[in-house]
Structure 1
Amino acid sequence: MSTVVTGIGVVAPTGIGAAAHWEAVLAGKSGIARIDRFDASGYPVRYAGQVPGFSARERIPGRLIPQTDHWTHLGLAAAADALADAALDPAGVPEFEMAVVTASSSGGTEFGQHEMERLYRNGPSWVGAYQSIAWFYAATTGQISIRHGMRGPCGVLACEQAGGLDVLGQARRLIRRGSRVVVSGGTDASLCPYGLVAQLSTGELSTMDDPTRAYVPFDVEASGYLPGEGGAILILESEQGAKDRGAEPYGVVAGYAAGFDPPPGSERPPVLKRTIERALADAGVRPSDVDVVFADAAGVPSADLIEARALVETFGPGSVPVTAPKTLTGRLYGGGAALDVATALLALRAGVVPHTTGPVRLAPGCDIDLVTRPRDADLRTALVLARGHGGFTAALVLRRP
């Protein structure tokens, strides 16, 4: 039973809505700007990808705003857009046949930040009851399921950047087990003092003051990445179910695999190459069948070199177009890979490989065909890669319907 994507909802630094996002990607219009959600002048990282013009009051029920974090607001908005894009009314589907599984990395850090400020300034009686749930990784899954009456299997995966692919692998399992509709994907929003300090602890964020050169994966001047907020929510159904209701799929989730890197200093190699091979095998395709790779593109020189070598060993030097539109948004953690999947699906439909902005000269050892200008192509199969801090690794194969 094939699993297809029938709806896409995007809330990203490149725009709100799949059409706005795709237009910005093709134009190379960056959503990276100076952080304005708080005063970041005293922090070593002052640039990030922020969702422009997002108003929670215009997008979600007013009662939910004080109960939930900005990250959940983004997820609720994206889920509503994805359902509308799929022309799917949840009221017409049995409630136990609809599932929700989302990715989360940071949880509700901004909500928690404000509650901690109240605690330290005013005392414990000022901390609201919703602190107990708004920060929780599963809050977005729960709120989406409640809002749309979805009472089938619901869950959350916290695998940092790789989580956006892992949840789609889980969504495919749920479809195969009988769920009719699965709302999946992820968002993240950790642009607050507490959240930014937590991200700085990895040592992988770029502190360059030039936003056009701060996040340049595979480049000789790569110095890390910039953070961002937002992501994408997708609607998944069985191919037959989509056909029965006349839905036109964006693409098929054809293959998936996950792995976990060995600890630093281990003699075992990174798992990315094996994960790619397993995903291709799961999809029943050969390396030569892959038309484009949406790279993880960490922007960290050592990580970029590992990814480039895995691609070269799998496909051959410069044998497949590689792209990383995420340089326009920053890395969105729980929302990043889901947004990459949305972008890949739009690329399959349009027959265009979107480009990577920023990189100018490839670093030694990065012998890949990095696409730096939009490229028309007959795209049938796309591979999306994601790695999360700590060792999480995932690969997803998408196929044009």
Structure 2
Amino acid sequence: MPVARLPYVQHQGLQHPGSVLTLAVTEDGTILASGGSQGTRLWDVVHMSEIERPSGSGVRGATLVVIWARQTEEAHDVLYAGTQNGFFYCWREKDGIFEETFVIQTPDIGEITAMAFDSTNNRLCLCTCNDIVQSWAISKDALTGKWTPTNVFSRKLLNFAPRAIAFAAFDNSQDRDIIVLGLHNNGPIYTLRGRTGEIASHWSVGARIGDAAFNWRDGVVCLEDPDSGPALFRLSDQVKSRAYGIERDRAVVRPRKVCFGEQGTTVVCGSDHGCVYVFDTRSGQKLATLSVGSAEWVQVVTTAEIDDVSVIFAAQMRAMDCSEEILVWKRAQPVAEKKSHRNMVAWFFKALVVLGCLAFVYQNVEPILKGIRKDLPETGTNAQEDA
């Protein structure tokens, strides 16, 4: 039986200039990155406000992919973004301000459809609409201190249309294998050698893959099929273990993003009719249907845990020149948990009051006692001599 969960409640959203095509949240849930027709933007999730960014879209075209990465020697999460015209670039936070560390255009100049980062080896992998898969080593220049990318390999996979890519977490080598998943040809999934790009293995799910989300802890991958919705596969034997059916407009086939939420216990997916669906990962039970207020295509979703509260971010896909709202839902907290939180806050303020009283006594009573002792008649040897 799935654990009973309180409903998601919609909160204040973010007004995003231009269309929204991709979303990603830092590990601590404090900063949201969004990409779209007007480039990449940054948002302070705590205060629900925009953060100053280094640059707009320009010749790079619309931002199609954003990911946050834990990079060696960096105090904060680093942002990587890929664009419509084949550019990828890196932003990092320094002294509270984001700056661009590098920007480079891929040789094939194709739309970048997915990216992943390996924090163990500072490796970035990406794939493009031209069926190209690339691996880049990110290294720091000893003299300038700037990070620079060096191409490790570039490989073309025919009739593939890659939609998702990831480093194999079960591979602990210095050059982790790369898993890349495609939309065409019955959903091919290739495992490439991290050093050379050679094909190590290949299997097919028999359906198109619009997106993928990996849960390495439980050894599963959730694949989003534009025709029938998300499905869960075991990585050990490549067997489908669960399907999550969603309603759809059969007239149009549109890929949607899928992700895990609530520490892997839920699967969250968009739709082509204005809803975000939340499923229990194990049972497949539909836990919530979150409406965005219209029947538009909800292409982009992502999740985060912020102060132990589960949060879902989503955005609709309309015309490229339209402004969109990034919608925000938060899981309601149990009453007992809220009460406990209020009790802790009350206890904290009571403790402050007690400490303040003690400080007052120390600062004001001690001088009074000193004055009283000074006015008392002397005792002991001096008193006896006077007698």
* Shorter-chain TM-score above 0.5: no
Structure with more strand by fraction: 2
What's the TM-score once normalised by structure 2's chain length? 0.31
Structure 1 or 2, whichever has the larger Rg, is 2
- Relative contact order (alpha carbons < 8 A, sep ≥ 6): 1 or 2 greater? 1
What's the TM-score once normalised by structure 1's chain length? 0.30
